[in-house]
Amino acid sequence: DPEEQAAAANELQQLIGGDPVEDADNGVKAHEKEWAMPRTGMSLPSLPRPGDISSYLLGKVLTSDDIKPAPQLLNQIQGQAQAAEVLHILAPLIYALALARSKDRGSWTPWLVGLSVEYAARQLRDRGFRTTPLERDEWNKRAWAMGWWTMRGAF
């Protein structure tokens, strides 16, 4: 088929770095047409003009205006939420102190103290207000950590 041969010649010309050849049917250059995949029928967008690569790439890259500043990623915490954060940070220290003060190495007391501090931090946080996706992800990680906490110590 002459049309298929012409299309193949145009694609080959483009691949070896030659100037794009105009389509005889409507005067559109080969790189400006959308290409439809033969098997799936999905179409790919046209390629950028060869001389205009920088503007094409700038459209695909995040700029400093697209990125939120750090204070906007998290809510300012106050009251119970702040107490929850402090308890979460201090939980390993409280567990270590309880473990050091325990006279019996098989005692459940340090384990229960550590678990209850983690649980208290979680309960204080649950009473808080709206959270951002970043905060929800962090609290989900902390929930898994609390689950692993139950495997520690007296077992």
* Residue range 86-141, pLDDT digits in tens: 999 999 899 889 989 888 877 888 888 988 998 898 888 776 566 777 778 888 89
Provide the strand spans (E) within the chain: 35-36, 43-44
Between 154 and 73, the higher pLDDT residue:
73
State mean pLDDT over 1-21: 67
Closest by CA to 15, choosing from 2, 36, 31, 4, is 31
3-state SS, residue 80: helix
Asked if the model's pLDDT at residue 83 lies above 70, the reply is: yes
Between 144 and 75, the higher pLDDT residue:
144
pLDDT for the residue 28: 61
List pLDDT tens digits, range 22-76. 555 556 665 567 778 888 888 887 776 667 777 777 777 776 666 777 777 677 7
State mean pLDDT over 8-25: 62
What is the number of helices (H) and of strands (E) in the chain? Answer: 6, 2
pLDDT for the residue 97: 93
Cα–Cα distance measured from residue 6 to residue 22, given in angstroms and rounded to the nearest whole number = 11
pLDDT for the residue 10: 72
Give the total residue count for the chain. 155
